[in-house]
């Protein structure tokens, strides 16, 4: 039976690379993003490169009704989702008090609300089938507060906590829920978030996006609740459990500066 993976934020970065990995493993794809032209290009590329089909849904998931509209389209196309990848999201660097409130609230709507809503819509059919995979893309930002990116870090903390909780709830139904927590990665995220010159994205610690996507997929298939790609990132994430919170917060600010 052909399995279908729904991947959000699939037009670039980790989402695009995860789509490639799922395609390589025989999944039919449903790709969701705002950029219609880019999605059409990706659809053509995938249908030429892989022995699987790709559907596209053009949608701004920060809109309140967008997740429901996505699943309405899936129903109209008679598609059942076997794997959900909640990758859509963005960040913004700057003092919270100086930030545009619309940008900050839109970030919460996309990073948190849409992810939660899509997960809720996907789960009933997975529970009925007693099978399914959900990969929520969080970040190493989830493990500590993040001055100068306060809202972004908080949204990723939510994604991690939410993913761990529901992973426990649905395991009895044969469903795997994994939080993928990458550190700095070579994608468009840094430039879009005004982070390109920050210390966090300087040096040898920035990972290749293909590696991050592959490790995320492998961890999901192995049933892991949390995947942190890269030894350096795993050490840093683990260290936040033991160091004083004020120190961790100061270090996070230092890394976000620049």
Residue 213 makes CB contacts below 8 A (sequence gap 6+) with 14, 17, 18, 20, 21
Global model pTM greater than 0.85: yes
In this predicted structure, the answer to whether residue 81 has a pLDDT above a threshold of 90 is: yes
* In the chain, % of residues over pLDDT 70: 98
Tens of pLDDT along 174-186?
Answer: 999 999 999 888 7
pLDDT exceeds cutoff 80 at 190: no
Confidence of residue 187 (pLDDT cuts 50, 70, 90): confident
How far is Cα 2 from Cα 193, in angstroms, rounded to an integer? 37
Q: Is the pLDDT of residue 1 over 80?
A: no
- Of 152, 153, 158, 217, the catalytic one is 152
Residue 137 tokens, joined = 């893309």
* pLDDT for residue 87 is more than 90: yes
Is there a catalytic annotation at residue 173?
no
217 phi and psi angles, rounded to 5 deg: -65, -45
Instruction: Look at the block and give the residue holding tokens 């468009």.
Output: 188
Rounded CA-CA distance 109/73 in Å is: 21
pLDDT tens, residue by residue, 139-150: 999 999 999 999
The full set of domain ranges for the chain reads: 4-256
Residue by residue, DSSP assigns 192-235 as HTT-TTSGGGSSTTPBPHHHHHHHHHHHHHTT-SEE--SHHHHH
In this structure, are strands 54-58 and 226-227 parallel, antiparallel, or unpaired?
A: unpaired
CATH 3.40.50.720 fits 4-256, yes or no: yes
pLDDT for residue 258? 77
Count CA within 13 A, CB hemisphere, residue 136.
34
> Mean pLDDT across the chain, nearest whole number?
94
Answer yes or no: is pLDDT of 192 > 80.
Answer: no
Pairwise CA distance, residues 133 & 13, whole Å: 21
Q: CA 113 to CA 100: how far, in whole Å? A: 19
């Amino acid at each position: 039976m052909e399995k279908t993976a729904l991947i959000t934020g699939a037009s670039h970065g980790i989402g695009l690379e995860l789509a490639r990995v799922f395609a390589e493993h025989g999944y039919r794809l449903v790709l969701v993003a705002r950029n219609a032209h880019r999605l059409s290009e990706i659809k053509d590329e995938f249908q030429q490169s892989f022995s699987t089909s790709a559907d596209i849904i053009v949608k701004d998931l920060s809109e309140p009704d967008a997740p429901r509209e996505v699943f309405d389209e899936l129903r109209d196309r008679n598609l059942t989702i076997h794997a959900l990848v909640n990758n859509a999201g963005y960040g913004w660097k700057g003092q919270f008090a100086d930030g545009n409130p619309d940008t900050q609230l839109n970030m919460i709507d996309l990073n948190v609300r849409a992810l939660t809503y899509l997960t809720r819509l996907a789960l009933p059919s997975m529970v009925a089938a007693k099978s399914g995979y959900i990969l929520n893309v969080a970040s190493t930002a989830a493990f500590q507060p993040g001055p100068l990116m306060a809202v972004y870090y908080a949204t990723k903390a939510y994604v991690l906590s939410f993913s761990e909780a529901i992973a426990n709830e649905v395991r009895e139904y044969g469903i795997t829920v994994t939080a993928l927590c990458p550190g700095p990665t070579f994608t468009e995220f840094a430039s879009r978030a005004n982070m390109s010159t920050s210390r966090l994205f300087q040096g040898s610690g920035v990972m290749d996006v293909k590696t991050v996507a592959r490790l995320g997929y492998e961890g999901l298939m192995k049933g892991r609740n949390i995947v942190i790609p890269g030894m350096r990132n795993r050490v840093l994430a683990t260290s936040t459990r033991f160091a004083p919170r004020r120190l961790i917060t100061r270090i996070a600010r230092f890394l976000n500066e620049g």
